[in-house]
Amino acid sequence: MTAPARPRTLVLRFAAAFALLALANTAVQARTVYRCVRDGTVSLATAPEPGSRCEAKQIDDNAVKLPNLWGELGVINGNLYERQQDGKTVYSTRNLPGSVRVMGFSVETPPGEPAHPGLGKVGKPQLDKFAAQFRSAAKANGLDDAWLRAIAHAESGFDARAVSSKGAQGVMQLMPDTAKEYGVVDPFSSDESIKAGARHLKSLLRRYNNDLTLATAAYNAGIGTVTRYRGVPPYRETQEYIAKVEALVQRYQLALGTRKPALRAAQ
């Protein structure tokens, strides 16, 4: 039987697909990886995590292209933890009670499924989608109607039932905690989602001194990530998201006949 690969070597081999395949006890052709979601955050584990919603994924050791199980693109920094569960040693990238840190890792995700279903081609403006709701929410929060629509276009493609791999929901793809913060009762209500999304964007603009680029980056990657990198994070997804929103803003401005500033704030 072939000896198991060294932990750090396999961590780099599998990169963002699954850092903890490194510590498998035997050499096999395929492994089961559990992608677990809790409170909007993703972890990878060798067994279902208590308290998380987990889905089993089969990973082929010999695959040329590995799947992106994280649901986001860019550099992932994290730790690998070991703990005992049901009498067995299991590994996870989430620090659960009784866990011991084994190693840290920093890897770049392979291209894969984008975190937001709306990412992809820019597409044409869709002025008929929830038009009155966007106008009302934009006016109530002092936002550019074109920007608000562009965010929704990029996030969900105006699908009120959209759910991302991270757990974001509705037209504006709000995470459950964010939706709760703004009093959303039904995340799949287009009216509630658009109103809450607009209020959240207004809050982000206030935080970033009306810098539309940073507000857009924070909407995609989170305030903590923008703070950590002191600006737009080096994630391909976020950078492509900003570029897509910028292009959409311009198209919606033309379609709406407005003459608002472009996405990037004036220097």
Closest CA to 140 of 216, 57, 200: 200
Report if residue 33 sits inside a domain. yes
Does residue 231 have a pLDDT over 50?
yes
Looking at the structure, do residues 171 and 249 belong to the same domain, yes or no? Answer: yes
**Model pLDDT, residue 93:** 86
135 and 104 part of one domain: no
Percent of the chain with pLDDT over 70: 73
User: And the tokens for 221?
Assistant: 């990657």
- Full residue range of the structural domain in which residue 155 is found: 131-256
Number of domains in the chain: 2
Give the CATH number, domain containing residue 201.
Answer: 1.10.530.10
Residues 50 and 96 in one domain: yes
Burial class (CB in 10 A: 0-12, 13-18, 19+), 85: middle
Least confident stretch, 30-44, 61-75, 199-213: 61-75
Q: Are residues 67 and 147 in the same domain?
A: no
Give the distance between the most distant pair of CA atoms in the chain: 69
Same domain? 238 vs 168: yes
CA atoms within 13 A on the CB side of 136: 11
- 100 lies in the same domain as 136: no
pTM of the model: 0.56
| 74 and 185 assigned to the same domain | no
For the segment 21-42, the average pLDDT, to the nearest whole number, is 63
CB hemisphere CA count around 17 (13 angstroms): 23
Query: Does residue 247 sit in the same domain as residue 139?
Result: yes
Q: Does residue 97 sit in the same domain as residue 148?
A: no
Q: Does 49 lie in the same domain as 154?
A: no
CA distance 174 to 200: 9
Question: Residue 36 in contact with residue 44, Cβ under 8 Å?
Answer: yes
Would 267 be classed as within a structural domain?
no
pLDDT at 173 (0 to 100):
95
- Summarised one tens digit per residue, pLDDT across range 168-203 is 999 999 999 999 999 999 999 999 999 999 999 999
Residue 155 a catalytic site member: yes
Residue 114 has pLDDT above 70, yes or no: no
Look at residues 52, 74, 108 and tell me which one is the last residue of a structural domain: 108
Catalytic residue, from 155, 192, 237, 246: name it. Answer: 155
Which stretch, 90-94, 120-124, 130-134, 160-164, has highest mean pLDDT? 130-134
Predicted local distance difference test score (pLDDT) of residue 68: 67
Q: What are the residues facing 163 on neighbouring strands?
A: 169
Measured torsion, CA atoms of residues 62, 34, 20, 102, in degrees rounded to the nearest 10:
-170
- Assigned domain for 80 exists: yes
Whether residue 121 lies inside any domain: the answer is no
